[in-house]
Amino acid sequence: MIKSIEKVIDLGDGRSIVIETGKLAKQADGSVIVRMGNTYLLATVVSAQEAKPGTDFMPLSVEYREKFSAIGRFPGGFQKRESRPSDYEILVSRLVDRALRPLFPEDYHADTFVNVSLISADKESTPDALAGLAASAALAVSDIPFKGPISEVRVARIDGQLVVNPTVSQMQKADLDIIVGASYDNIMMVEGEMDEVSEAELLEAMKVAHDAIKIQCKAQMELVEMLGKKPAREYNHEENDEELREKVWKETYDKAYAVAKKANPNKLERLNDFSQVVKDFIEANYVDEEESEIPMDLIKKYYHDVEKEAVRRFMLDENVRIDGRKMDEIRPIWCEVDCLPGPHGASIFTRGETQSLTTVTLGTKMDEKIVDDVLNRSIDRFLLHYNFPPFSTGEARPYRGVGRREIGHGNLAMRALKGMIPADNPYVIRVMSDILESNGSSSMATVCAGTLALMDAGIKIKAPVSGIAMGLITDTKSEKYVVLSDILGDEDHLGDMDFKVTGTTKGITATQMDIKVAGLSYEILEKALEQAKAGRLHILEKLVETMPEPRADYKPHAPRIVSIKIPKEMIGAVIGPGGKIIQEIQASTGTILTITEEGMFGQVDIAADNKEAIDKALDRINAIVAIPEMGKVYKGKVKSIVPFGAFVEILPGKDGLLHISEIDWKRIEKTEDVLKEGEEIEVKLIEIDSRSGKLKLSRKVLLPRDNDKSK
């Protein structure tokens, strides 16, 4: 039997995490099992020995997948096997990718695949908080060049206390939930949601997370020592021409700096000016060369470095941004609501050259999203979908559907807004953001447009939410830095941090941060958070100017939902055999009915686009669930005639006997001489048999006594 090597991490609360290697998947470059309780993650990493020709980036692929067998379940669907990754699996993959990617050498370009699989699970451990540790440990025991280790942990605030990697049960009471990724020295990534917390509270949670991560990084280092440290593999993935590099820098840096100094707010014009610098360089130096002989890849690579340094240097030295703004200045904003007649709510939010057209659709229980993940079987009643078509950035390429980035951005916006939906909201809500223009944080534009569209739809949100993306430019040599509010796409690409924060006037509701530089102090993070607060409050003012509060009522064409509670034992009566009764009510009234069992009651939701239809359905349901009352007068229908009288339906499914002697004061020989089947008559309930529950009715007590002609 193969003996594995293990390292135990004591969490200090009776729980532990075990990293095990040397037993499974030994042909991978690195593989580990990370286990906590009955939750087991298998992480493997494989990297090609050579880079593909022409590759000038890090081709990293991170896949997190969950096996249904891990919890003893069959997958759904006809195939009964795992298929495409769920949104949750994609989001976890992104969390791991964002922490790992900055730590590979810049000149390492080999295809690298990190796979993390949930192979055993329990219902209390959250595997997403362990995936980053597993991926890093697999890299640590391999010979792949990697500036790690890193780890990721979840921190939640429960009953006022910050808890590291809480259980699923504990999470039910959390008002702050973040996952932090970090190396021993630096925080790399933060993502999470919270219930309007302060900047200081978020910063405290990040510090608690980093303290826990340091322990896990130390454990990985000790595991590597136990194995006998492998030297990193040798590689040479770039061919460089130092003479050409020097020439490009010498002849283009001042020109690129001059373009930055023009501070042109127009994105396309600015890009064209930067592109012209390198075009002029090529034309000046390769006049007689064939195009195929010009080292275009190297020139573009070196010029990219020139442009990056020129832009960063300009902002650090002159304290002005490339579009002319101050560091904390927000681009011009304009908003519009009620801009489309068809949706139940609609808005346009434009900030500078970023624009979101967002719509809201209100639905019934039948529109709920059924989530059937390995560890999560639930219902989603608030959906947010984010679309980023190529034309939004002027790209000429087809739109092939939603990618990982869109799922991630949509999830961030969803987390920012969902806490503001009131608990008594009767609707299933779908928010859809279509990005029409993009130059800097379209996800934050989605949050702002989503707030307006929800209010336009008449949803009584608890408070408006705005969002802002922050950036950072640092110079480690001089220790100078500038924090940028409302970053451009260029500033995101060339900067050292992308920090998105959403919130209300009371506090933060969601955040996402990616840090691309080592040694970022908490003082800088604190400044970024405070500057972000000022920015998002400014944006919030613009939203409130456009729409101060939600509409008093829903749009005329929005569905109306009325909810009533009925006794649990009456649910079957409303549904009817095979759904016959509920289907007939829907067809005859033009409504949609859904019934949910809640304890001793059933909740019936009645939806329609007009009040008259709802009232008709209400009357039908109330009639079905009504209890016959002694002495009450009912308008009933004669269902059948018998020799001794007639049976009259006074309530749906409830018949009573109208004896021939109770039809009239006068003597009647035959019931059919007075009544006909299908005829509607008024009767009074005069007796309910205490043992059988049978109903006895009278018609004559409602007639004048002088009708008795026999006297």
Q: Looking at residues 590-611, what average pLDDT do you find?
A: 89
Instruction: Report the SS3 class of residue 516.
Output: coil
Q: Where are the alpha helices (DSSP H) in 80-198?
A: 87-100, 128-140, 168-171
pLDDT at 710: 47
Mean pLDDT of 520-548: 94
Average pLDDT, the chain: 92
Indicate the pLDDT class of residue 233, thresholds 50, 70 and 90.
Answer: very high
Q: Are 109 and 57 in contact (CB under 8 A)?
A: yes
Determine the Cα–Cα distance for residues 670 and 697; give it in Å rounded to an integer.
18
Residue 415, Cβ density class (10 Å: 0-12 exposed, 13-18 middle, ≥19 buried): buried
Mean pLDDT of 539-551: 97
Q: For 412-429, how does the pLDDT look when each residue is reduced to its tens digit (9 = 90+)?
A: 999 999 999 999 899 999
CB 60 within 8 A of CB 105: no
Amino acid at site 293: E
* Sheet containing strand 592-598, strands side by side: 560-567, 601-608, 592-598
Residue 145, helix vs strand vs coil: coil
Q: Please answer whether residues 492 and 182 qualify as being in contact, where contact means their C-beta atoms are separated by less than 8 angstroms.
A: no
Q: What is the pLDDT of residue 145?
A: 96
* Binding site, annotated residues for Mg(2+): 492, 498
Per 3-state DSSP, the chain is made up of helix, strand and coil in percentages (nearest 5) of: 35, 30, 35
For residue 2, the model assigns a pLDDT of 78
Cis previous bond, 341, omega within 30: no
| CA–CA gap between residue 521 and residue 196 (Å, rounded) | 24
pLDDT of the residue at 668? 87
DSSP 397: S
Helices and strands, number each (H, E), in the chain: 14, 29
Residue range 639-659: average pLDDT? 88
Most confident of 63-67, 259-263, 285-289, 577-581: 63-67
Residue 711 clears pLDDT 60, i.e. is over it: no
Supply the angle between the helices 580-589 and 611-625 in degrees, to the nearest 10: 150
Phi-psi region of 262 (alpha: psi -120 to 50; beta: other; left: phi over 0): alpha
pLDDT in tens, 1-44: 778 899 999 988 889 999 999 999 999 999 999 999 999 999 99
In this structure, of 432-441, 443-452, 628-637, the range with the lowest mean pLDDT score is: 628-637
Length of the chain: 711
The phi, psi pair for 709, rounded to 5°, reads -85, 0
Give the pLDDT confidence of 79-108 residue by residue, as tens digits: 899 989 999 999 999 999 999 999 999 999
CA-to-CA dists, residue 346 to 341, 362, 463, 546, 555, angstroms:
8, 12, 18, 13, 11
pLDDT (tens digit per residue) in 666-688: 888 888 888 999 899 999 989 98
Give the annotated binding-site residues. Answer: 492, 498
Query: First-to-last CA distance in the chain?
Result: 108
Q: Evaluate whether 153 touches 71 at the Cβ level (below 8 Å).
A: no
Domains within the chain, CATH numbers bracketed: 5-227 (3.30.230.70), 242-318 (1.10.10), 333-546 (3.30.230.70), 560-625 (3.30.1370.10), 632-702 (2.40.50.140)
Q: What share of the chain has pLDDT > 70, as a percent?
A: 99
**Residue 232: in which H helix or E strand, if any?**
none
| Alpha carbon distance 560, 364 (integer Å) | 9
Alpha helices by DSSP H, 337-378: none
Q: 608 and 631 in contact (C-beta within 8 Å)?
A: no
Does the pLDDT value for residue 204 go beyond 50? yes
Max Cα distance, the chain (Å): 130
Distance CA 171, CA 633 (A): 55
For the entire predicted model, the pTM comes to 0.86
Contact call for residues 34 and 41 (beta carbons, < 8 A): yes
Provide mean pLDDT across the span 308-323.
92
pLDDT at 706: 66
Residue 336 reports pLDDT greater than 90: yes
